[in-house]
Structure 1
Amino acid sequence: MNDSSREPQARVMIVDDHPMWRDAVERDLVARGYDVVATAGSVREAVDRARATRPDLVLMDMNLPDGNGADATSAIMLTLAEVKVLVLSASSARSDVLDAVKVGASGYLLKSASAAELVDAVEATLRGDAVFTPELAGLVLAHLRGRVDTTDDPASALTPRESEVLRMVAKGLASKQIASRLGLSSRTVDNHVAATLRKLHLANRVELTRFALENGLD
């Protein structure tokens, strides 16, 4: 007999380039009642499958073969504004953590976390909490208080990939040319351009090129 009052399962997508790791995480989440609607092993797969399945939460690795987790997070959140992203990565590098936070990740958990810690983090993220591995929490708090990035340079909000695309836009390259040079799809390049325009509060590529030239990013 079905219980019609039961809350619907949260829909989760797992992004990691190691299939065995994806399978292990999926087993842990399914055992706790989550609906794993998709898995992906690259930025391109992550963006396409997120659009197709519309998960409530994405578990995101930072190191992917065609980019990084910040790239994927930025592109996914352009399409799915309400999705929550929890990074699950082996990297504790300051740049990775801050890149993830800058593009809107709700939390950052190291892969050394236990299965129970992972499930607790997923539950907390879905509730709207910010979840960070304890040793990274101080770094994130300092960043949010403005102690890490002391520069007033608005370009500091861009991910490495967005900065790379911005430089190519400033050189007059079209999306297809940029995509060819970086091994990305034109749509992914357009997503990076759109994210950069939003972060810099600019209207179009002309203003983007002017910004790059004025800030020595050409």
Structure 2
Amino acid sequence: MTVTVMVVDDHPMWREGVARDLGERGFQVVATAPDGPSSVRIALATRPAVVLMDLNLGASSGVTAIGSIRAQLPDTRILVLSASGEHQDVLAAVAAGASGYLVKSASAEELVEAVRRTAAGDAVFTPGLAGLVLGESNRKDSGLRLTDRETEVLRLVAKGMTAKQIADRLVLSHRTVESHVQSTLRKLQLHNRVELTRYAVEQGLTDD
């Protein structure tokens, strides 16, 4: 089934360029909008599967629009595409109901894949931002969070222990440890143990 998309951005050339790129790659762009209020009205009329939303919409706020759209169209998923990678912007967008967050430096291929994954129900973030959101979720004890066992394994990975050493320490099988590591990488949208260690340090998980 073709994924329906609405593109919201206050810059006409950027808005139409993104819409064209998505259309050429098999998405059905059902609408575009230049600001927050019109994006809410148009979304209600067209009911797209995915709204690609900028945050800085001139006099209006993309965060406010996200909240309004999600409240009235709970099945519509919203992917932010913004020039800002500031932590407060990312967290505000996610708190309002955004499913993911990309910065505008993303390539066309990355954007297309992100829209496709968002439509499929995934949470998609520019590398480095997923860990920020997960850390905030852990602090608030909300939906997306590491399990206690994943956190325990993460602490030991960050201390330089191998999977075999962790398995021996926790009396687990090597395969189970690797499963926890892969699950943690997937949740954080990181790529390797080096990035896992950096995340653990940033979150203070290596302090004890």
2:69 maps to what in 1? 76
Match of 1:88 in 2: 81
Alpha-carbon distance, 1:65 to partner: 1.8
Secondary structure of 2:128's aligned partner = helix
1:38 partner SS: strand
Between the aligned residues of both structures, percent identity stands at 56
Say if 1:16 and 1:22, in contact at 8 Å, map to a contact too: yes
Gaps of 5+ in 1: 1-6, 148-218
Partner of 2:7: 14
Which residue does 2:132 correspond to in 1? 139
**Residues 44 and 66 in structure 1, CA contact (< 8 A), matched pair in contact too:** no
Who is 2:105 aligned against?
112
Q: Verify: 1:35 aligned to 2:28, yes or no.
A: yes
Q: Which of 47, 54, 59 is the equivalent residue of 1:61?
A: 54
Question: SS state of the match for residue 132, structure 1?
Answer: coil
The number of residues matched between the two structures is: 141
Structure 1 position 101 matched with structure 2 position 101: no
CA displacement at 1:66 relative to structure 2: 2.8
TM-score, normalised to structure 1, is 0.63
- Counterpart of 1:113 in 2: which secondary structure? coil
Deviations 1:83-109 (A, max 9, x none): 000000000111110011101110000
Q: If you compute each CA radius of gyration, which structure gives the higher value, 1 or 2?
A: 2
For residues 13 and 42 of structure 2, what CA distance do their matches in structure 1 show? 19
Moved over 2 A (4+): none
Equivalent residue runs for 1:123-134 within 5 Å: 123-134=116-127
CA RMSD of aligned residues (A): 1.4
Q: Distance in 2 between matches of 1:66 and 1:53?
A: 24
